[in-house]
Each structure stands twice: as C-alpha cells, then as structure tokens.
Amino acid sequence: MSGVSAQVVRVGIAGRRGCGRATVTRVLRGAGVAVVGSAEPADLDVYVVAETLKPEDRRALAHSPRPVVVALNKADLAGFGGQGPVATAAAHCRRLSDFTGVPVYPLAGLAAVAALDDTVVDDEVLDALRALTTDPADLGSTDRFIDKAHQLPHPIRLRLLAQLDLFGIAHGVLALRAGADRAGLLAALRRASAVDGLLAGIDAAAAPVRYRWLIDAHAVALPASDDAVAARMAAAIEVVRAAGMAVDDDVTAAAHLRRAIVWQRYSRGPVSRLHRCCGADIARGSLRLWERAGGVAESLP
C-alpha cells in the first residue's frame, strides 16, 4: 500500500502551438503538479487551447488515450463587460464542456504565473505597481500603457506587460490600493487567474487514476486490513464525487450502514465497471466502519 500511496499522478501538456503550453506548464509546476515532458509517460493530459476549440482540438480530445482536462488559456482576453473577462471565459468553458463532454476550465496564465512563481513579483515589479496606485497609467490598451507619458520608465512598463499583462497589472493595482501587502497581492492575482479551478479539475480527473492504482495493487485478492479497506473506500469516494455525486460522510453507526446499503445497490445498477467497483468499495468500507462501531455483519438486502 505504501508504494501505491507514494505514486504521483504525472500530467502531460498538449495542445496547438501558440496557445500557451509553456505558460501552463510553468503554472502547474509552480502549483506542485508533476508535469512531465512530451517524451515521458503521463497518466492524464492538460490540453491547452485559446479562445475556443478548433476542429483539430476536438479531434485530439475525442481520441485522447488518457483522461484529459482542457485549460482555456488567456481567459483574461475573453472580453470585458458583465462580471469581467474570466467570468465570460468561464461561461464559455461550460458551453464547451457540454459540447465535448470534457471538463474545460478558464485560466489567465500570466496572472497565475505571477502568483505562483516567486521570481516574477520582485521588488522592482512591486514598487512599480505601488507607483501605479498613486499615479495611474492608461490601461486601456498595451499601446497606450507604453506610449503615454508616465513616471515609470519605459523598460519597467514593458516588463510589467510581459509578466503581468494589463489584466494582472489592473488586479495588482486594485489589491495594493485596498491595502494588500506582497502576500495579499499574490493571493489576489491567484484568485483573478482562476488557477484553483483548473487545479481542482486536474485533481478530479486524477481520482480514477489513483483508484485504479489501488485496484491493481489488490488484483490478487480483496484488501483485508482496515487500512487497505479504508484507502480503497477513500479513493472510490474521490471518484464518485469527481463525477458529481454526493457521499454521506456522517460518522455514526447508522450512517455507515445506510451508506453501505446505498452504495451496494448503486454498484448493482446500470453503471460503468469503474463505478461498479467504486460502489462496492464504498459499501465494503462502510460496513467495516459499521462493524467497528458495534454493528453485526449481515448480508445487505
């Protein structure tokens, strides 16, 4: 069991050129995701797109040999108005997900890099953003930000654009005006980037991978120890929750028995082999917990 629990889900990065694969790689590595190179084996893929899915993107997703999550990069360019560009991109992602059956998440890549890479928001960038809180610059376009006269030297404005873009600059200035320190600034950029939604999506897509590792570890016989049963139950719960189902996590004896009955019945229904195994493992683990709480084992109805 220790070998299985120590395994790390390896993530590959795919997508067309120019969509920001290098940026997304940097973001995910900064967040602690085990991103592998194109020649290395991966357990799931993050497929990077910009603006929308093109026909070649849809073909690649349809024929993916692994679980796949789509990152709609450059979400900060999705158009202003309403609740902002990332909210607009998120709504677009939901439509794309409904159309393809693949989870799609927005990402403002440069803002996410700035939030997760300690080398981006250094003293020079922080001082420049602070200067903009008292002497605002024209953020209406990149040309106006660069060309209009301002106290910030031209090279520093170019650096701000290259590392934060107008979206990150605007959110950084707003955070500092509200009294944020450096940590608060990074937190604001992280929220604005929507990276946590993508990370949660990757974790959900990885749940079946982790569960199958446990299944393979117990291929010869069902797990017997309490720890092994609990591990498989926990991994199975991750899978079904990632699929949008609720699992009662009450710890009373009655709840354990009720959960066992519900998921044993689920496992016997018209579900996939994966979910059939998950239902059985949740039922088995719940029964083990019920027995430890003083219940007497008996056949489920």
Distance of alpha carbon 137 from the chain centroid:
34
Whether 236 shows a pLDDT value over 90: the answer reads yes
Whether 38 shows a pLDDT value over 60: the answer reads yes
> What average pLDDT does the segment 252-263 reach?
93
Whether 301 shows a pLDDT value over 70: the answer reads no
pLDDT digits (tens, 9 = 90+) for 92-123: 999 999 999 999 999 999 999 999 998 999 99
Strand residue runs (E) in 2-133? 10-15, 34-35, 44-50, 68-73, 104-107
What is the Cα–Cα distance from 68 to 54, expressed in whole angstroms? 16
What is the Cα–Cα distance from 166 to 145, expressed in whole angstroms? 9
How is residue 18 annotated by DSSP? T
* Torsion angle of the four alpha carbons 216, 217, 223, 226, in this order, in degrees rounded to the nearest 10: -130
pLDDT of residue 202: 97
Token output for 158: 């170019």
**What is the identity of the amino acid at 135?**
D
How is residue 77 annotated by DSSP? G
**What is the pTM assigned to this prediction?**
0.86
User: Could you tell me which CATH class the domain 2-108+194-201 is placed in?
Assistant: alpha beta
Domain edges within the chain: 2-108+194-201, 119-179, 218-292
What is the Cα–Cα distance from 202 to 104, expressed in whole angstroms? 10
> What average pLDDT does the segment 125-145 reach?
95
What is the Cα–Cα distance from 235 to 249, expressed in whole angstroms? 14
